[in-house]
Structure 1
Amino acid sequence: MDFSALRLDHVGIRVTELATAEAFYARLGFRRDPDEFSAADRACGLVHPTGLRLHLIYNGIKAREGNVLMDAAVKHPGYTHAAFVIANMDALVAWLASEDIAITQGPLVMGEGRRKVCFIRDPDRNVLEFNELLDA
């Protein structure tokens, strides 16, 4: 191999409406990166204070069945979710409740006790996973 993958740069998330998606992700702490915006490509880069990056690809159409990768009976290949490591699940759960953001699954312990996880959906039904890593 001639290269080494050092880290993930960003996750691209297809959305239907930029303003709605950007407002949702702003609640999670993401802000528009003016250097990562392209109206021609319909892509908007967001950055979190921790350095995490997302690209909102705003050319999606509303699907009748919700998220076609997760909610449809026939499972198509594709990226199904982005997962974030967090410091405190209890604090996240309390914050989600205060923001009226529904938890779609969890919190529960997974990975043979390695992590506590919960899942939410953005306005376009894209899945976001949050993981609190537990001591071995």
Structure 2
Amino acid sequence: MNFAHLTFDHVGIRVTSLDVSERFYAKFGFIRDPEEFAPAVKACGLHHPSGLRIHLIFNGVPDPAGNVLMDVPVKRPGYTHAAFIVESIADLVHWLEREQIAITEGPVQMGHDRRIVCFVRDPDGNVLEFNEILK
């Protein structure tokens, strides 16, 4: 098997409410792909004009502990966040303030000062990372 031309397809994000989550991700430009809506398996594909795709898996049950991969002392294996690249973290921060989306960490420089990162959470506590790659 040759993986030289492997590309990334999508990330699945478990949520408790399709309606609430779809509205949240729409703020970032994601829209429902009718070809990727599968209510029988509780999955809804969203696509972004940039070509990015995510699948909302809408069978989540709220947990009082929060995000069980991030907010509890025992660190279990699993995907902890999705990361996106933006042109300007400063512009993102202003936009997040206008949209009343709380920043949970950052902005801060990371990766040997190669990037500025900022973290937010979706309505279910799933972590989204935004990166400005420094030249």
Confirm or deny a common fold (TM above 0.5): yes
What does residue 13 of structure 1 align with?
Answer: 13
Q: CA deviation at 1:49?
A: 1.0
Structure 1 gap ranges (5+) = none
Aligned residue runs from structure 1 range 84-99, under 5 A: 84-99=84-99
SS at match of 2:20: helix
Letter in 1 for 2:12: G
- Could you report, residue by residue, the CA deviation over 1:64-95 in whole angstroms, capped at 9, with x for unpaired residues? 10000000111110000000011111110000
Q: Which residue of 2 aligns with 1:68?
A: 68
* Alignment partner of 1:81 is 2:87: no
Distance 2:132 2:122 in 1: 20
| Cα separation, 2, equivalents of 1:134 and 1:12 | 28
Identity across aligned pairs (percent)?
A: 62
Q: Which residue of 1 aligns with 2:109?
A: 109
CA distance in 2 between counterparts of 1:32 and 1:14 reads 16
CA distance in 2: counterparts of 1:114 and 1:59, whole angstroms: 37
TM-superposition CA deviations, 1:99-133 (whole Å, max 9, x none): 00000000000000110000000000000000000
2:20 & 2:5 partners in 1: Cα distance? 33
Deviation of the 1:7 alpha carbon: 2.0
Moved more, 1-10 or 44-53: 1-10
Cα RMSD, aligned residues only: 0.9
TM-score (structure 2 length as normaliser): 0.97
**Relative to 1, partners in 2 of residues 1:14 and 1:5: Cα closer, same or farther, differing over 3 Å?**
farther
- Counting matched residue pairs gives 135
Q: Which residue pairs with 1:38 in the alignment?
A: 38
Secondary structure class of the residue paired with 1:16: coil
